[in-house]
Amino acid sequence: MDTSVFIAIERGQLSLEEILARTNVDVALSVITASELRHGVERATPPLRRAKRERFVELVLELVPTVAIDLDIARVHARVCAQLAGLGTPIGAHDAWIAATALWRGDGIATRNLREFERVEGLRVEAW
């Protein structure tokens, strides 16, 4: 799942419990997504909003396994970035790492950011 899905969950537009209960596939997130979620915590103000967001993010990180970046994923990332650059349609650096992680695992991406991820050849993209 991409960060955009977790933002929708935090805003009450989606339910993490329902997603985890109804899905018949393994749900995981890239460490890049984990970093983006933690970045949102670090930037949150006022203190009450930050505390609420931190509780949410830590719950997500406890419930949803993370996938670390390794050399195999780095190779896929390089290929994805080179292909997109060659087409003149690059995507954001973080999204490229998230896409590479999903491709390497043979997974799709659950996202609300179709515009970026649909550019990646071979990546299954699900609109949530």
Using the predicted structure, report yes or no on whether residue 21 has a pLDDT greater than 90: no
Query: Would you state the pLDDT for residue 35?
Result: 98
Residues 6+ apart with CB under 8 A from 91: 84, 99, 116, 117, 119, 120
CB pairs under 8 A, 24+ apart, for 7-15?
7/40, 7/112, 8/112, 8/128, 9/56, 9/60, 10/53, 10/56, 14/128
Read off the pTM. 0.91
Q: Where are the alpha helices (DSSP H) in the chain?
A: 3-10, 16-22, 31-43, 47-63, 71-87, 93-105, 114-117
Q: In CATH, which of 3.40.1160.10, 3.40.50.1010, 3.40.605.10, 3.40.1010.10 is domain 3-127?
A: 3.40.50.1010
Using the predicted structure, report yes or no on whether residue 25 has a pLDDT greater than 90: no
Query: Would you state the pLDDT for residue 24?
Result: 64
Q: What is the mean pLDDT of residues 100-112?
A: 95
